[in-house]
């Protein structure tokens, strides 16, 4: 029997809380799913009663898509386990697992696959939208590393999607988000990554930021795939450098190139385990803030992009992370994720605690991102917040949106799974 939590039950309030504290919705029922049968039972329960369905993995959706007001939240967090076969270099990851569980299971074997930069993010939402991380320039996005998906459909069927089974569905699950069903298991290919990494961050005063960012951009164009260049501007400080996963001595040698940037106000060159790198950006108080963000992709960091990036609102944390490498090796129409020509991803994120500031903080983030809009080539679907249908046309080219809509019509014609960056089915 699936464990159902209702508003008066112990644990209900904890279970409905997600990353962004602006999300304060109250599901009628939270179904704590422990496996495929629970997912099927909870879906049937919701559909028989005509209740909205939300699907929760790591709860990091910025707009809290997982939590339906008055509906049924399929809470996959009890499905958090990861099984590894080091010989075959495969990991089987349940649909509610966090990235930290994936790394913890693979790293004792010196193996890993691409996962995001914060260990408390969910494998589910991240992978279904694409999945960017420090290994992506070497091994592709998380979605590129999925060998097979096990999915419960809107009608309660259990299907497999891979290159050999339901290949078009597998195409859509690689970047199309949670539109088609509940993924109960991901089978990932693993890579021999070793266990060491190097994190390089140099701080510069805001006045120096434009010049150093231009030099850093020029250096990034020559970066080997072990390196992922990253930069932030926040609170009057520009922090730039790269993350290296691979031979650390080679990474240290690459640090020498950054001398071209001049003298920083602070310098952090930190050899660390890959697992620690993957927790570097974790935030212990992360789940206590109200939040909003906007994202863009850029094919190049022109001087105009850099000027607008530096001119960011001081309260909005702005970041750039490098793409390219193995991400761009994959053909643009090979997966639903279709921003393979992006050179960098930008996110401008605001966080605050006082609800009275909501309007102003959201406006600041929008204004900062709007300055960069003229240069943008698109957006990462997982960086979309409240842009609605217009956001989808930024995330996917028309041909991919057409294919995604056809898949949606086939697999979820009643749009049961609509609490996501929703691709509506064709009208029946």
Ligand X SMILES: Cc1cc2nc3c(=O)[nH]c(=O)nc-3n(C[C@H](O)[C@H](O)[C@H](O)COP(=O)(O)OP(=O)(O)OC[C@H]3O[C@@H](n4cnc5c(N)ncnc54)[C@H](O)[C@@H]3O)c2cc1C
Instruction: Please give the residue ranges that form the binding site for ligand X (CB under 6 A).
Output: 19, 55-62, 65-66, 76, 95, 116-118, 121-122, 124-126, 128-133, 177-178, 182-183, 382, 419-420
Tokens of 241: 């450098």
- Cβ 110 to ligand X, closest distance in Å? 22
Tokens of 245: 């996963």
- Cβ 184 to ligand X, closest distance in Å? 7
- Cβ 235 to ligand X, closest distance in Å? 18
- Cβ 199 to ligand X, closest distance in Å? 14
- Cβ 40 to ligand X, closest distance in Å? 13
- Cβ 365 to ligand X, closest distance in Å? 14
Shorter beta-carbon distance to ligand X: residue 150 or 212: 150
CB 324 within 8 A of CB 137: yes
- Cβ 54 to ligand X, closest distance in Å? 6
How far is residue 101's CA from residue 108's CA, in Å, rounded to a whole number?
12
Shorter beta-carbon distance to ligand X: residue 239 or 382: 382
Shorter beta-carbon distance to ligand X: residue 133 or 251: 133
Shorter beta-carbon distance to ligand X: residue 212 or 349: 349
Q: What angle do CA 23, 350, 271 make, to 5 degrees?
A: 110
- Cβ 302 to ligand X, closest distance in Å? 24
Report the half-sphere exposure of 16 (CA within 13 A, side-chain side). Answer: 25
Shorter beta-carbon distance to ligand X: residue 204 or 232: 232
Shorter beta-carbon distance to ligand X: residue 18 or 200: 18
Shorter beta-carbon distance to ligand X: residue 122 or 246: 122
Shorter beta-carbon distance to ligand X: residue 217 or 351: 351
């Amino acid at each position: 029997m699936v464990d159902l939590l209702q508003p008066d039950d112990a644990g209900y309030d904890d279970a409905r809380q997600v990353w962004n504290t602006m999300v304060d919705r109250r599901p009628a029922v939270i179904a704590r799913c422990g496996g495929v049968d629970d997912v099927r039972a909870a879906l049937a329960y919701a559909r028989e009663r005509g209740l909205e369905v939300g699907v929760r993995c790591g709860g990091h959706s910025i707009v809290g898509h997982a939590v339906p007001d008055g509906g049924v939240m399929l809470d996959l967090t009890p499905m958090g386990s990861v099984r590894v076969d080091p010989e075959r270099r495969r990991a089987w990851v349940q649909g509610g697992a966090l990235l930290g569980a994936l790394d913890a299971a693979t790293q004792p074997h010196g193996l890993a696959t691409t996962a995001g930069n914060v260990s408390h993010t969910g494998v589910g939402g991240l992978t279904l939208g694409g999945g960017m991380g420090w290994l992506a320039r070497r091994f592709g996005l998380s979605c590129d590393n999925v060998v097979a998906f096990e999915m419960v459909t809107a009608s309660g069927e259990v299907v497999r999607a891979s290159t050999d089974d339901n290949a078009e569905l597998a195409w859509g699950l690689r970047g199309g988000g949670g539109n088609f069903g509940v993924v109960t298991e991901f089978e990932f290919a693993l890579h021999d990554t070793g266990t060491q990494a190097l994190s390089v961050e140099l701080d510069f005063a805001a006045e120096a930021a434009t010049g150093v960012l231009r030099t850093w951009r020029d250096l990034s164009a020559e970066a080997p795939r072990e390196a992922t260049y990253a930069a932030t501007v926040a609170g009057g400080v520009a922090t730039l450098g790269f993350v290296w996963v691979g031979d650390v001595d080679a990474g240290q040698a690459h640090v020498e190139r950054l001398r071209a940037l001049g003298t920083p106000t602070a310098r952090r060159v930190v050899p660390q385990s890959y697992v620690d790198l993957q927790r570097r950006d974790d935030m212990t108080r992360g789940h206590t803030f109200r939040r909003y963000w906007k994202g863009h992709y850029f094919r190049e960091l022109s001087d105009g992009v850099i000027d607008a990036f530096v001119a960011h609102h001081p309260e909005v944390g702005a970041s750039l992370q490098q793409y390219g490498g193995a991400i761009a090796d994959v053909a643009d129409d090979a997966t639903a994720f279709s921003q393979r020509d992006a050179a960098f991803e930008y996110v401008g994120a605001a966080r605050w605690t006082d609800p009275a500031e909501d309007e102003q903080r959201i406006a600041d983030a929008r204004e900062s991102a709007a300055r960069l809009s003229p240069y943008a080539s698109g957006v990462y679907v997982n960086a979309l917040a409240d842009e609605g249908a217009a956001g989808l046309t930024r995330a996917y080219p028309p041909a991919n949106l057409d294919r995604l809509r056809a898949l949606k019509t086939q697999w979820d014609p009643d749009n049961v799974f609509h609490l996501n960056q929703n691709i509506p089915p064709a009208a029946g």
